[in-house]
Amino acid sequence: MFRITTLWIFCLTFLAAALVVVPALEAQQEEEPQAAEQHPKEAIPPVPPAPIPAQIITAKKVFISNAPGYAFGDYYPVDHTYNQFYALVKDWRRYELVSSPAEADLVIEISLTAIITAVRGSAASGCSSKGEMQFRVTILDPKTRISLWWFSEPVQGAFRRATLLKNVDMAMTNVVGDLKKLTTPAVASAAAPDK
């Protein structure tokens, strides 16, 4: 009984939030064309790149952490994200992978998250939501647990398991590619502060 009551409270809270947020978003979308007419689009002025934390560039030892995230049960096991990321980083051979954060220069957390991107409907007629899956990587200082950098890559949805797994593989490859770009010396030196 408690579980059902908790579920109803969660649903009602979610619907109440949706009833407030969705009309506000729709009103904002209606106002945007008028604002665009009043203010022609201006190019965003270029900003010099901020430095990438030196620890990310100089790290030799990395601990990979399986952060909490989303799973599809047997369809896509919770440890698959961690195992796949671990294998790709190991094959890259840029870092020595260590078995504890205490030995590491960096901690890299990987997770598959599901975020709600849209909610439609009402409490009376029922509501539906649209979501997006994404891989999220957070690079942490192992001593302070301060986040040094993060990025994410969307995973395209699919109705068939084989297509979904193909999309997951492509997004995972992109995540490791983002990590490679971040730690490449040319990128790092371009973002380094002037002396």
Is-contact 173 166, C-beta < 8 A?
no
* Antiparallel, parallel or unpaired: β 106-122 and 61-66: parallel
Structure-token pair, residue 30:
């209606």
Give 155-189 pLDDT, tens digit per residue. Answer: 887 778 788 888 888 999 999 999 999 988 664 45
Q: Which residue has the tokens 């986040």?
A: 147
Rounded distance between C-alpha atoms, residue 61 and residue 90, angstroms: 11
pLDDT in tens, the chain (195 residues): 445 444 444 444 444 444 444 444 444 444 445 544 555 567 888 999 889 999 999 999 999 999 887 666 566 676 888 999 999 999 999 999 999 999 999 999 998 887 776 677 766 667 665 667 889 999 999 999 999 999 999 988 777 878 888 888 899 999 999 999 998 866 445 555 544
pTM metric for this prediction: 0.65
d(CA 89, CA 86): 5
